[in-house]
């Protein structure tokens, strides 16, 4: 009798799959506390042993015995073992996160002279800003060059690497979440890509050839265009009807934001130059922050305190 029941259940499952009838998705409890971890990743920005695709030169272009390094255009040599070897990604799931409801994965690309612990967590409070925003979302922030003036994307220069990194992030988020969640549960989360300052550089390359544009629901630029305007323009042209763009900037990145605005005008794509009440699919907003804004503290205090919290609060689709 038991064998017959098992055969029936297996046959029913096979019929549901073959007929296109969706199987019931597992339900999950809301998280009762924050979960945070620094995870060593197989897919990480560094170490990177490839070339700079713009110059076709080896990224590691200096050696001292067995030691290898990168001679920066800004001057000085940065050694791989000190500056380009941190494989960690910060993962954060806030208390109250509900995997049953519409949710988003917020990806944060930090700027120059930063570490995940000291700057992204302790100084800029990126996890806290996400938690306080009420967005039903989780966070992933990779470490790029460690505490130096370098915006190099490293492995994010590689075609399809962003998509591979996201898949590994999804699996690790599922492991941290528990309750038998799977990587597939997190792979369905749309991505909100946030770039601050020098984080614009890897963000631009992810948009160009990262292999995950179909998953990106929005791009948030926080004083974060210093070149590669054509890559941002190309992404907006292709995806502006299904994704959003929000760019806030000070005098530090004003030149390149204005260039992108001009490019969109030439593309006949409309946009606003004011702070939005809501941020949703298809919206494009630029905002020049008035006054003498400190670029270094832009993620903490710009047109308001905790500006990322302000932005995430206005993405109504993923409100918890």
Q: How many domains does the chain have?
A: 1
Whether the pLDDT of residue 57 is over 80: the answer is yes
Q: pTM score, two decimals? A: 0.92
Residue 215's domain spans which residues? Answer: 35-42+87-318
**Residues 67-83: tens digit of each pLDDT:** 999 998 877 899 999 99
The pLDDT assigned to 7 comes to 45
The pLDDT assigned to 133 comes to 98
**Residues 253-280: tens digit of each pLDDT:** 999 999 999 999 999 999 999 999 999 9
3-state helix, strand, coil in the chain (%, to 5): 35, 20, 40
**Residues 217-237: tens digit of each pLDDT:** 999 999 999 999 999 999 999
The pLDDT assigned to 320 comes to 64
Among 3-17, 19-33, 68-82, the range scoring the smallest mean pLDDT is 3-17
Whether the pLDDT of residue 17 is over 80: the answer is no
Helices 254-266 and 229-239: angle between axes, nearest 10 degrees: 40
Distance CA 159, CA 75 (A): 28
230 assigned to some structural domain: yes
The mean predicted confidence, pLDDT, of the chain is 93
6 assigned to some structural domain: no
Distance CA 164, CA 43 (A): 7
The pLDDT assigned to 256 comes to 98
Whether the pLDDT of residue 11 is over 70: the answer is no
Whether the pLDDT of residue 210 is over 80: the answer is yes
Q: How many CB atoms lie within 10 A of CB 132?
A: 15
96 assigned to some structural domain: yes
The pLDDT assigned to 16 comes to 42
269 assigned to some structural domain: yes
The CATH number assigned to the domain holding 247 equals 3.40.50.1820
265 assigned to some structural domain: yes
pLDDT above 90 covers what percent of the chain? 89
**Residues 86-120: tens digit of each pLDDT:** 999 999 999 999 999 999 999 999 999 999 999 99
**Residues 132-189: tens digit of each pLDDT:** 999 999 999 999 999 999 999 999 999 999 999 999 999 999 999 999 999 999 999 9
287 assigned to some structural domain: yes
The pLDDT assigned to 72 comes to 84
Handedness of CA 285, 234, 160, 113 (dihedral sign): negative
19 assigned to some structural domain: no
Q: How many degrees, rounded to 5, is the angle at CA 267 between CA 261 and CA 273?
A: 30
71 assigned to some structural domain: no
Mean pLDDT of 9-21: 43
């Amino acid at each position: 009798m038991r064998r017959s029941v098992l055969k029936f259940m297996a046959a029913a499952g096979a019929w549901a799959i073959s007929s296109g009838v969706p199987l019931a998705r597992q339900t999950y409890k809301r998280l009762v506390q924050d979960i945070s971890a620094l995870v060593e990743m197989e897919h990480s920005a560094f170490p990177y042993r490839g070339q700079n695709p713009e110059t076709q030169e080896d990224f590691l272009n200096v050696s001292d015995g067995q030691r290898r390094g990168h001679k920066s255009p800004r001057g000085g040599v940065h050694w791989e073992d000190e500056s380009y070897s941190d494989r960690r990604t910060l993962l954060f799931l806030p208390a109250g996160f509900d995997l049953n409801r519409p949710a988003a994965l917020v990806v944060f690309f930090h700027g120059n002279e930063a570490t995940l612990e000291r700057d992204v967590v302790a100084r800029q409070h990126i996890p806290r800003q996400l938690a306080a925003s009420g967005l039903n979302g989780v966070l992933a922030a990779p470490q790029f060059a460690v505490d130096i003036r370098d915006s190099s994307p490293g492995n994010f220069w590689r075609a399809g690497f962003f998509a591979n990194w996201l898949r590994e992030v999804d699996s690790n988020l599922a492991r941290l979440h528990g309750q038998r969640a799977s990587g597939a549960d997190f792979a369905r989360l749309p991505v909100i890509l946030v770039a601050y300052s020098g984080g614009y550089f890897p963000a631009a390359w992810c948009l160009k050839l990262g292999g995950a544009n179909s998953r990106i629901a929005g791009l948030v630029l926080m004083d974060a265009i210093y070149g590669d305007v054509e890559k941002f323009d190309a992404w907006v042209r292709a995806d502006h009807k299904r994704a959003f763009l929000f760019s806030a900037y000070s005098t530090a990145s004003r030149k390149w934001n204005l260039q992108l605005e001009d490019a969109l005008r030439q593309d006949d794509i409309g946009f606003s130059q004011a702070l939005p009440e809501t941020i949703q699919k298809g919206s494009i907003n630029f905002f020049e922050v008035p006054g003498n804004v400190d670029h270094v503290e832009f993620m903490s205090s710009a047109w308001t305190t905790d500006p990322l919290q302000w932005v995430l609060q206005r993405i109504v689709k993923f409100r918890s």
